Chain A
Amino acid sequence: MLAHYGYKDGSGEYFIVVDTDKCDGCGRCVSACPYGVFEIGEDENDPFRETVVVKVSESHRKKIKYSCAPCKPVSGKKSLPCLESCAPGAIGHSW
């Protein structure tokens, strides 16, 4: 499942996309993210999935543009820690 967490508003589209079929629930992204954007837990959108999966925590979903801003290239960063930490390549950013 491609889970899009985030929003679209007047300034643009800000979504973190998690491919839950690729995510193995290892949790490295949780420790890699300096701002605590990710959490590991049961898949809310698939009640029959038995393994845990990464999701964007509820408190960041509506402000993801700002939560992620310090890691973006405009802030001088070359790569995103969450993407780097994810071996299966399950995480993506839409902006």
Chain B
Amino acid sequence: MATEYWRWPESRWTSPEIDWKAGRIVTAGIDVGSVSSQAVVMVDGALFCYGSLRTGSNSPESAQRAMDFALAETGLVLADIHYIVGTGYGRVNISFAQRALTEIACHARGANFMYGPTVKTILDMGGQDCKAIRCDAKGKVTNFLMNDKCAAGTGRGMEVFADLLSVPIADMGRMSFEVEAEPEPVSSTCVVFAKSEAVGLLRKGWPKEKVLAAYSSAMAHRVVELLQRIQVEEDFAVTGGIAKNEGVVKRIEKELKIKALEPKFDTQIAGALGGALFAKALVEKDRGLR
């Protein structure tokens, strides 16, 4: 398959410190998203391993592939996992998951683990939707809003621009700052119209960097409007693929006048991580531990 440079590279990580055989509760979360799928395995509530890859057209298969990818070379097999929670767009299609939960609940819980209990507002910028979530110190959702009708402010928007400008997705954030002065944002946030506008600007002689800066600030403005509806309370964190694009994150911070927390792990795993944490809580409930 040709390199899909407009998408985030696939990744995998295994903790060098944890011996899963010594664990009492082994749980997993699988987030089958619109663009990428993640599987996270936790041993007694500590992150053991994760894998992140493309979803493709078949979500049951993607869930299986993500799980196999995460478990490869760990010695752990599917049967060793006590409870699996599925989340994301494809959550109802994961045959080996015991429970399906919404990505809103999972992202809040995952971000609470990833950024600590001080996080109160989470912006998840996913492949084809955008969620603004407020949560309490335990990661329980207190207010949420999801925009999945419009691609503005989602990873898909960035993918379209990466393709148009032939820039790898990982370089877009940095490139968007290589401008002498910040240009006016593109006037249309609709991805289709923003792309037409960008084509016009390129034909006018604008360099790629300037077009990217104009689109990144339009995207930031768009999601800030969503965040304002639920009112941002610090600490603030961004999850999902776009959290790795500093061009968008820094512009959101500037508009909100609030700094986002620094992520400790790959921001794309937040949903699956939350799923694994819920799985642990559900096992404890079953065993009468809580």
Tell me the bound Cα distance from A22 to B282 in angstroms. 25
Query: Is B233 positioned at the interface, with any CB of A under 8 Å from its CB?
Result: no
Contact between B149 and A62 (Cβ–Cβ < 8 Å)? yes
Contact between A7 and B101 (Cβ–Cβ < 8 Å)? no
Contact between B141 and A7 (Cβ–Cβ < 8 Å)? no
Contact between A4 and B229 (Cβ–Cβ < 8 Å)? yes
Contact between B150 and A47 (Cβ–Cβ < 8 Å)? no
What residues on A are CB-neighbors of B281 within 8 Å?
48
Tell me the bound Cα distance from A46 to B143 in angstroms. 11
A47 to chain B: closest residue by CB: B101
Specify which of A2, A7, A8, A44 is in contact with B105 (CB 8 Å cutoff).
A44
What residues on B are CB-neighbors of A84 within 8 Å?
none
Also in contact, A7 and B148, with CB within 8 A (given A1-B142, A44-B102, A45-B141): yes
What residues on B are CB-neighbors of A47 within 8 Å?
99, 101, 105, 278, 282
Query: Is A13 positioned at the interface, with any CB of B under 8 Å from its CB?
Result: yes
A7 to chain B: closest residue by CB: B149
Contact between B144 and A45 (Cβ–Cβ < 8 Å)? yes
What residues on A are CB-neighbors of B99 within 8 Å?
47
What residues on B are CB-neighbors of A94 within 8 Å?
229
> How many of chain B's residues touch chain A, expressed as a range?
20 to 34
Distance to closest chain B CB from A6 (angstroms): 8
Distance to closest chain B CB from A48 (angstroms): 8
Contact between A9 and B149 (Cβ–Cβ < 8 Å)? yes
Contact between A46 and B105 (Cβ–Cβ < 8 Å)? yes
Tell me the bound Cα distance from A59 to B164 in angstroms. 34
Tell me the bound Cα distance from A35 to B68 in angstroms. 45
Query: Is B25 positioned at the interface, with any CB of A under 8 Å from its CB?
Result: no
Query: Is A73 positioned at the interface, with any CB of B under 8 Å from its CB?
Result: no
Tell me the bound Cα distance from A46 to B274 in angstroms. 12
Query: Is B146 positioned at the interface, with any CB of A under 8 Å from its CB?
Result: yes
Tell me the bound Cα distance from A61 to B143 in angstroms. 17
Contact between A2 and B142 (Cβ–Cβ < 8 Å)? yes
Distance to closest chain B CB from A94 (angstroms): 8
- Among A1, A3, A13, A46, chain B packs the most CB atoms within 10 A around the CB of A1
Specify which of B102, B140, B147 is in contact with A8 (CB 8 Å cutoff).
B147
Also in contact, A4 and B102, with CB within 8 A (given A45-B141, A47-B278): no
Tell me the bound Cα distance from A8 to B145 in angstroms. 10
Also in contact, A4 and B101, with CB within 8 A (given A13-B229, A46-B140, A47-B282): no
Query: Is A15 positioned at the interface, with any CB of B under 8 Å from its CB?
Result: yes
What residues on B are CB-neighbors of A44 within 8 Å?
101-102, 104-105
Tell me the bound Cα distance from A40 to B147 in angstroms. 22
Query: Is A10 positioned at the interface, with any CB of B under 8 Å from its CB?
Result: yes
What would be 25 A-B contacts, judged by CB atoms less than 8 Å apart? A1-B140, A1-B141, A1-B143, A1-B144, A2-B144, A3-B144, A4-B146, A4-B229, A7-B147, A7-B148, A8-B147, A8-B225, A9-B150, A10-B150, A13-B229, A44-B101, A44-B104, A44-B105, A45-B105, A45-B144, A46-B140, A47-B101, A47-B278, A47-B282, A62-B149
What 11 additional pairs, Cβ within 8 angstroms, besides A45-B104, A47-B282, A94-B229?
Answer: A1-B141, A1-B142, A2-B143, A44-B102, A44-B105, A45-B105, A45-B144, A46-B105, A46-B140, A47-B101, A48-B281
Nearest 9 Cβ contacts at the A-B interface: A7-B149, A4-B145, A2-B143, A44-B102, A45-B105, A9-B150, A62-B149, A45-B104, A45-B141
